[in-house]
Amino acid sequence: MTAPRVGSVLSVRDLEVRYRGPDGDVCAVDGVSFDVRPGEVLGLAGESGSGKSTLAHAALRLLRPPAVITRGEVWIDGEDVLALGPGGLARLRWRTASIVLQNALDALNPVLTVHEQLADTLRAHAPFPNARAARLRAEELLALVGLGEDTLDRWPHQLSGGQRQRVNIALALALRPKLVVMDEPTTALDVVVQRELLQRVLQLRDALGFAVLFITHDLPLLFDLADRVGVLYAGRLAELGPAAAMRENPAHPYTRGLLRAMPPLTGPRRPLAGIPGAPPDPAHPLPGCRFAPRCAVAAARCRTEVPFAHAVGPGWRAACHAAPGLPATRSP
Amino acid sequence: MSALAWLARRLGLYAVAAWAALTLGFALPRMVPGDPAAALLARLQGKAGPEAIAALRAALGVSDAPLVEQYGAYLLALTRGDLGVSVSRFPTPVAELIGGALGWTLLLAGVSVAISFVLGSALGLAAAWRGGVLDTVVGPALTLLGAFPYFWLAMGALHVFGFGLGWFPLRHAWDTSVAPAPTLEFGWGVVRHAALPALTLVGASVGGWMLGMRTSARSILATDQVLLARARGLPTARVVSAYVLRNAVLPHLTGFGMALGFVVSGALLTEVVFSYPGEGWLLVQAVRAQDYPLLQGLVLAITLAVLAANALVDVLTLLVDPRTRAA
């Protein structure tokens, strides 16, 4: 395991998260390491149960029992997140890092207006001289996400799905954080609203300079949106690399399978192919590579020996024995 | 639709329900065989002559006029607050009897229900938020207390704390040796007399409120909005009051309204056990004496109280839950 990268806004090292249960633990995130650099969009893709949401919550220490972090490190802006006390955590959360969750309606308090929720967040971190100042600041935040001041005095149930998620993004940006974790923020929205919202996020990233850890099951979306893309499979990081290069020439068989299962929006038509089989049961982990039972190129070694990350190219690694590139090293 | 229009429509509905209750109150006694005068006469065992019978029927408002006419007269009398005359306590007007008992019932049962709801909700919220002994011992203990048959609990309390230890008076609502006047001494007597029945009422119901509140607070605590409110660093007091409590209390407002509405039917068993002169006690007296006019008046008063309590809850819900304002 290597030290956190200097200058990263988020460093996750060898992170393991388990769900405690009466019949033993279930390991949801298993030895994941990655960095998010200032101002970049790092996308993490994975199917249901791959541990992506658990990872998002773990990064800000928002896991609820029975989930516990059992190994590894999380560093945000130079601070050891797992070692922080309540005071340190309160400083870190929302001023340095914030989060947007998938269900926009669940994330808002149904009995408070948008303004009350924004003002609560602002006041929790900085005193406002008067109500007028807080209201002006809330207005500015809504303007950032493209909502008018008439939204201020509305309740969540009066807003559309897209507007609600805009409010959540405004809440996440309220204290100008360096990192915003977005856990499937657009999954519940239709494609048109999704695109508008993501364009807005990218514009804001350019203007305000925050970094985004973007989590989704939608790999093609990530290739359009993210600077770098990671692919999670059964709690492990299968591949992580620059978006453009990875899209052209994915190194991990799982990434290749995912891309082959999606119709290309441009270029010639080609037959679609699914990935046979289903993800493994996390309660009964397999020895060796977890993708091996579904992998077209699996060899005998894949079923016994856990593949460690290979450097495939500059800033690009894949956890696969069959991946091309440099000889096997245990570098993240 | 605006909140005001919504409220107006609701109140209109209550007006219709109240009218239906009034009409039922008119129709029911006329559907049963006999009339108040017959009941009273039965007690005289035929010793009254025809003139006496006619005079009694007139005094009790029994007439052979067409129903529509009677109905009109009934409604007219109601607008004057005239509910007829009690048979068992002839010739005291029913309205006077009900009015006299109402204050005691509101004092005892009303205050008890309010205390029980507030205390139970606070305990449930604390149990859901903090857990610990409150959740593992106090909650189940209060639920157990509420599971006892109420009359048994009340009589047990009266026996131990009233009769045995002599801490509380045994019966009635005020100190009969003190002149009923707005004095400190009289007031203290009233409090002393209400204390034990109120304690049994609160003890029997607080566990239910606590359990309900604990469950809904638990489910609210598990929502993303509470997780995020805490992640945003909001002060604990703000998270508990505005993000947890306000959402968790919503499903219980209706139950509270129902409980409040049934206050006027009196905490029947309480008032009987403690001989407390409220509506419940009056109701039992009326049934025993077959005092139809009084029963009719009481049923009407109870119905109107339930309706009024529901209207109150509607307004309360409107204030607490903005989602109800849009529908």
pLDDT tens-digit map of B135-156: 888 888 898 988 888 888 888 8
Q: Which two tokens stand for residue A166?
A: 């805009």
Classify residue B228: in a domain, yes or no.
yes
pLDDT-wise least confident of A207-221, B86-100, B215-229: B86-100
Which chain A residue's Cα is nearest to B230?
Answer: A90
pLDDT tens-digit map of A52-105: 999 999 999 999 889 999 999 999 998 999 999 988 998 899 999 999 999 889
- The answer to whether the CB atoms of A110 and B322 lie below 8 A apart is yes
Classify residue B108: in a domain, yes or no.
yes
Q: Looking at the complex, report in whole angstroms how far the Cα of residue B124 sits from the nearest Cα belonging to chain A.
A: 20
For residue A330, pLDDT beyond 60:
no
Residue from A120, A157, A168, A175 to probe the interface with B (highest B Cβ count within 10 Å): A120
Q: What is the overall mean pLDDT for chain A?
A: 88
- The answer to whether the CB atoms of B323 and A94 lie below 8 A apart is no
Distance, CA of B23 to CA of B4 (rounded, Å) = 29
User: Which residue in the set B223, B229, B232 is minimally distant from A106, CB to CB?
Assistant: B223
- In this prediction, residue A7 carries a pLDDT of 81
Nearest alpha-carbon partner for B95 in B110, B73, B80: B80
Does B133 share its domain with B198? yes
The residue among B13, B48, B79 that closes a domain is B79
pLDDT-wise least confident of A196-205, A285-294, B47-56, B202-211: B47-56
Nearest alpha-carbon partner for B322 in B58, B6, B29: B6
Which chain A residue's Cα is nearest to B321?
Answer: A111
Residue from B216, B228, B245, B320 to probe the interface with A (highest A Cβ count within 10 Å): B228
Kindly report whether the peptide bond that precedes residue A66 is cis, defined as omega within 30 degrees of 0. Answer: yes
The most confident of A262-266, B44-48, B287-291, B295-299, by mean pLDDT: B295-299
Contact between B277 and B173 (Cβ < 8 Å) = yes
pLDDT tens-digit map of B161-176: 888 887 888 777 777 7
Contact between B300 and B25 (Cβ < 8 Å) = yes
- In this prediction, residue A331 carries a pLDDT of 46
- In this prediction, residue B293 carries a pLDDT of 82
Q: pLDDT confidence of B259, banded at 50, 70, 90?
A: confident
For residue A332, pLDDT beyond 50:
no
User: Which residue in the set B224, B232, B246 is minimally distant from A121, CB to CB?
Assistant: B232
Does B23 share its domain with B145? no
Does B315 share its domain with B224? yes
Classify residue B94: in a domain, yes or no.
no
- In this prediction, residue A59 carries a pLDDT of 93
Distance, CA of B43 to CA of B197 (rounded, Å) = 35
The residue among B14, B47, B79 that closes a domain is B79
Residues of A with CB under 8 A from a CB of B: 60, 62, 64, 90, 93-94, 98-99, 101, 103, 106-113, 116, 120-121, 124-125, 155, 157-158, 171, 174
CATH number at residue B162: 1.10.3720.10
- The answer to whether the CB atoms of A94 and B233 lie below 8 A apart is yes
- The answer to whether the CB atoms of A108 and B225 lie below 8 A apart is yes
Enumerate the residues of chain A whose CB falls inside 8 A of the CB of residue B322: 110-111, 113, 155, 157
Q: pLDDT confidence of A328, banded at 50, 70, 90?
A: very low
- In this prediction, residue A329 carries a pLDDT of 47
User: Which residue in the set B233, B234, B247 is minimally distant from A110, CB to CB?
Assistant: B247
Does B221 share its domain with B119? yes
Distance, CA of A330 to CA of A323 (rounded, Å) = 14
A291 vs B41: which has the higher pLDDT? A291
Does B74 share its domain with B113? no
Q: Looking at the complex, report in whole angstroms how far the Cα of residue A134 sits from the nearest Cα belonging to chain B.
A: 15
pLDDT-wise least confident of A268-272, B115-119, B127-131: A268-272
- The answer to whether the CB atoms of A93 and B233 lie below 8 A apart is yes
- In this prediction, residue B31 carries a pLDDT of 76
Does B75 share its domain with B104? no
Q: Considering its fold, how many domains does chain B have in total?
A: 2
Percentage of chain B lying above the pLDDT 70 cut:
91
What average pLDDT score do residues B217-236 get? 93
Is the complex ipTM more than 0.90?
A: no
Classify residue B115: in a domain, yes or no.
yes
For residue B276, pLDDT beyond 60:
yes
Percentage of chain A lying above the pLDDT 70 cut:
96
- The answer to whether the CB atoms of A107 and B225 lie below 8 A apart is yes
pLDDT tens-digit map of A155-192: 999 999 999 999 999 999 999 999 999 999 988 888 88
Task: Compute the radius of gyration of chain B from its Cα atoms.
Answer: 24
Distance, CA of B88 to CA of B39 (rounded, Å) = 10
- In this prediction, residue B103 carries a pLDDT of 86
pLDDT tens-digit map of A105-117: 999 999 999 999 9
B323 vs A144: which has the higher pLDDT? A144
Nearest alpha-carbon partner for B99 in B282, B262, B311, B306: B282
- In this prediction, residue A213 carries a pLDDT of 96
Which chain A residue's Cα is nearest to B235?
Answer: A124
Q: Looking at the complex, report in whole angstroms how far the Cα of residue A213 sits from the nearest Cα belonging to chain B.
A: 17
- The answer to whether the CB atoms of A101 and B233 lie below 8 A apart is no
- In this prediction, residue B317 carries a pLDDT of 84
B240 vs B313: which has the higher pLDDT? B240
Classify residue B172: in a domain, yes or no.
yes
Does B72 share its domain with B109? no
Query: Cβ atoms within 10 A of the Cβ of A315, count?
Result: 12
Q: What is the overall mean pLDDT for chain B?
A: 84
Distance, CA of A119 to CA of B137 (rounded, Å) = 39
Does B21 share its domain with B139? no
Structural domain range at position B167: 99-326
- The answer to whether the CB atoms of B228 and A99 lie below 8 A apart is yes
Residues of B with CB under 8 A from a CB of A: 222-225, 227-229, 231-235, 238, 242-243, 246-247, 320-323, 326
- In this prediction, residue A236 carries a pLDDT of 92
Enumerate the residues of chain A whose CB falls inside 8 A of the CB of residue B3: none
Q: Looking at the complex, report in whole angstroms how far the Cα of residue B231 sits from the nearest Cα belonging to chain A.
A: 6
Tell me how far CA of residue B47 lies from CA of B37, B53, B59, B61, B291, in angstroms. 14, 10, 18, 21, 20
- The answer to whether the CB atoms of A93 and B242 lie below 8 A apart is no
- In this prediction, residue A60 carries a pLDDT of 94
Q: Looking at the complex, report in whole angstroms how far the Cα of residue B323 sits from the nearest Cα belonging to chain A.
A: 7
Does B139 share its domain with B280? yes
**Secondary structure of chain B in the HEC alphabet?**
CCHHHHHHHHHHHHHHHHHHHHHHHHHHHHHCCCCHHHHHHHHHCCCCCHHHHHHHHHHCCCCCCCHHHHHHHHHHHHHCCCCCECCCCCCCEHHHHHHHHHHHHHHHHHHHHHHHHHHHHHHHHHHHHHCCHHHHHHHHHHHHHHHCCHHHHHHHHHHHHHHHCCCCCCCCCCCCCCCCCCCHHHHHHHHHHHHHHHHHHHHHHHHHHHHHHHHHHHHHHCCHHHHHHHHCCCCHHHHHHHHHHHHHCHHHHHHHHHHHHCCCCCCHHHHHHCCCCCHHHHHHHHHHCCCHHHHHHHHHHHHHHHHHHHHHHHHHHHHHCCHHHHC
Percentage of chain A lying above the pLDDT 90 cut:
55
For residue B54, pLDDT beyond 70:
yes
Nearest alpha-carbon partner for A29 in A301, A215, A170, A184: A215
Does B73 share its domain with B116? no
3-state secondary structure of A59: helix
A238 vs B262: which has the higher pLDDT? A238
Classify residue B71: in a domain, yes or no.
yes
Does B71 share its domain with B197? no
What average pLDDT score do residues A288-299 get? 87
For residue B327, pLDDT beyond 60:
no
Q: pLDDT confidence of A233, banded at 50, 70, 90?
A: very high
For residue A325, pLDDT beyond 70:
no
Classify residue B91: in a domain, yes or no.
no
Antiparallel, parallel or unpaired: β A228-233 and A41-45: parallel
The residue among B79, B112, B147 that closes a domain is B79
pLDDT-wise least confident of A263-272, A316-325, B17-26: A263-272
Q: Return the sign of the alpha-carbon dihedral for residues A48, A50, A51, A52.
A: negative
Does B165 share its domain with B239? yes
Classify residue B47: in a domain, yes or no.
yes
Nearest alpha-carbon partner for B106 in B255, B264, B262, B259: B264
- In this prediction, residue B43 carries a pLDDT of 67
Strand partners, A93: A97
pLDDT tens-digit map of A273-288: 888 888 888 888 788 8
